[in-house]
Amino acid sequence: MNWLAPNRFVTFCKGMTMPTVAGIFGEAGRLPRAFGEADGWVWVMQDAYAGPSSRASGGQAAWELARSITGRRGHIHYAERASDPDRVETVFLASTPTCTCPHGQNYMVPHCAEHPFQFLYSRGGFEQTLFNLGGRRESRRSGGMADLLVRELLDAGIIGRDTPRYDSESGFNADGAHTVRIITEHFGLPSPPLESPALELGPRQI
C-alpha cells in the first residue's frame, strides 16, 4: 500500500495525551517506532511483527490494544487514564496483507494476530467498524456501527451494485488508498504518518 510502509501498524487516539498512549503501548511490550500529535489526535506507529502478537504470548495483539484503550474491558481499564474516559476513540490501520487463514473472511472469528483487519474504529471498548481495504473488500464490514462509512464508500464507487470504476480503471483501489483517503477525511486524521515522513525513534530515544 502506498499510504503506509509495508508491515506497519498505526493507532490514532483521541481523548488521551501522547505520554499516556505511548506509556500504554510500552507497558504492553509494543514500543512505538514513531509517534506524533496533531489535529486533536495522537498516533503511534509500530512494526507489525515486533512485540507480543497473540494471547498465547501473554500480550494483546496490536488491534486488541487499540480497541481496549477506548473502554473498560478485562482487568485493565485503560480509558480511566484519560481526562474524559467516555470520549476516547481510536482508529487502527494496518499495512499487513489481508488474512489468508481459513477463517480470514469470517468476521465473527478474529483474524490471526499477524494479519489483523486493516481498518478498525473503536469506542467504548468495542469495535464499531472494521473491514479490510481494497479489491472490494470494504463490502464485508462488521462492528456495532458497520455502516458508518457506507455513504462515502458508495459515493466513491468502492462498494455497491453500481461500481463501474473497477471495470473502467485498471487496478482501481487495489491497494485501498482511496478507502484510506475516505477514512482520513471522515475522522479528520492528521497526515503523518500516512503521507509525511514520521518521526523515527532511535534505540536510545524509546
Residues 6+ apart with CB under 8 A from 165: 157, 172, 173
| CA angle, 203 then 205 then 12, to 5° | 105
Write the DSSP symbol of residue 110. P
pLDDT in tens, the chain (206 residues): 456 788 899 999 999 999 999 888 888 888 788 889 999 999 999 888 766 554 433 467 888 889 999 987 656 678 788 877 778 999 999 998 887 776 555 665 666 777 788 999 999 999 999 999 998 999 989 999 999 999 999 999 999 988 999 989 999 999 899 999 999 999 999 987 776 443 333 332 32
